[in-house]
């Protein structure tokens, strides 16, 4: 396992976008640790993704921004639930409020997957790992 603190340090390998307080994210991390594959951890609450990074991640996930947003979070309900936001505005919201991003997300240079349920990560590792 490798831990990098800045995006510029990241080589082309598996990355987990991780929230240490989330049970599913910890389960995803355990799957990666047990896989024997090299990976890096990005604690996205401490190092939020830029709008450009989010756009690229959404493309790899083949998801729309609203599909990646945790709409049950209080921040969403209080500030955004009743607004009609464009995809670009939703990406801006996720960049500003990273807690709203679904987790964990596993990414390599070619693809990405949301690790809910955790078996998604196992399938991803089998199919897409380098």
Instruction: Specify the residue for token string 């240490």.
Output: 20
- pLDDT band for 83, please (50, 70, 90 cuts): very high
Distance CA 34, CA 28 (A): 10
Q: Model's pTM, two decimal places?
A: 0.86
> Looking at 10-14, 22-26, 27-31, 88-92, which range is the least confident one?
10-14
Catalytic residue chosen out of the listed positions 5, 15, 20, 22? 22
CB 101 within 8 A of CB 43: no
Res. 42: pLDDT tops 70:
yes
Res. 128: pLDDT tops 80:
no
Q: What's domain 2-128's superfamily in CATH?
A: Glutaredoxin (3.40.30.10)
Whether 113 sits among the annotated catalytic residues: the reply is no
């Amino acid at each position: 396992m490798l831990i990098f603190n800045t995006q510029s340090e990241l080589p082309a390998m598996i990355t987990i976008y991780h929230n240490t307080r989330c049970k599913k994210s910890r389960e995803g991390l355990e799957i990666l640790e047990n896989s024997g594959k090299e990976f890096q951890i990005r604690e996205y609450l401490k190092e939020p993704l830029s709008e450009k990074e989010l756009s690229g991640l959404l493309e790899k996930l083949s998801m729309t921004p609203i599909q990646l947003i945790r709409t049950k979070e209080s921040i969403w309900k209080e500030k955004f639930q009743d607004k009609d936001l464009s995809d670009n505005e939703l990406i801006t919201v996720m960049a500003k409020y990273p807690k709203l991003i679904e987790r964990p997300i596993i990414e390599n240079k070619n693809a990405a997957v949301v690790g809910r349920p955790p078996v998604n990560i196992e399938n991803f590792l089998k199919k897409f790992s380098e």
